[in-house]
Amino acid sequence: MNFDLRLPIGLLFSVFGLVLTGYGLATKGDTALYEKSLGINMNLWWGLVLLVFGLGMLAFAKFGKKA
């Protein structure tokens, strides 16, 4: 099958990563919002994790062995 699943996975998680990182940056210093997550800006940090994962998948799809 010529449809590489790594593309939609990479795409979806890159979008999630961008959205969460962006939202995390926009809400930086909002102590009320991050009171739940123990004062850590989890949107920013976890957004970066998702972004790295998503971009990694896309890189795999482009440069990796064809599935």
Partner 1 sequence: MLLNPIDLLAAASLPVAEVAGTPRIDLHAVDYGILGAYILVVIGIGFALKRYMKSSSDFFLSGRSIPAWVTGLAFLSANLGAQEVIGMAASGAKYGIMTSHFYWVGAIPAMIFLAVFMMPFYYGSKARSVPEYLKMRFDEKTRGLNSISFAVMTVASSGVSMHALSAMIELLFKAYFKPVHFLGMELGIYDISMVITSAVVLAYVLKGGLTSAIYTEVLQFFLIVLGFAPLVILGLHNLGGWDGMMAKLPEKFGNSWKYMGTTDNPMGVEWFGMIFGLGFVLSFGYWCTDFLVVQRAMAAKSMGDARRTPIIAAVPKMLFPLIVIVPGMIALALTKTPGSGYAIPLSSNPVEAAKGALDYNLVIPSLIAHYLPTGLLGLALTALMASFMSGMAGNVTAFNTVWTYDIYQSYIAKDKTDAHYMWMGRVATVVGILISIAFAYVARKSDNIMDLLQLVFGFVNAPLFATFLLGMFWKRATGHGAFYGLLCGTLAAATFHGLTYPAIAAPGEVLELVGMKGAWIANKHGFTSGMAQNFWLAIVAWSTCFFVTIGVSLATRRTKTDAELTGLVYSLTEKIRQEDEPFWKRPAVLGCVVLAVAVILNIYFR
Q: Which residues bind partner 1 (CB under 8 A)?
A: 1, 3, 5, 8-9, 11-13, 15-16, 19-20, 23-24, 27, 33-34, 36-38, 40, 42-43, 46-47, 49-50, 53, 67
The pair of structure tokens assigned to 11 is: 């795409």
Q: SS3 for 31?
A: coil
**In whole angstroms, what separates CA 39 from the centre of its chain?**
21
CB of 54 to partner 1, least distance (A): 10
The pair of structure tokens assigned to 4 is: 């590489």
Q: Which is nearer to partner 1, 11 or 58 (CB)?
A: 11
CB of 35 to partner 1, least distance (A): 8
Q: Which is nearer to partner 1, 36 or 63 (CB)?
A: 36
Backbone torsions φ then ψ of 46, nearest 5 degrees: -70, -30
Backbone torsions φ then ψ of 28, nearest 5 degrees: -60, 135
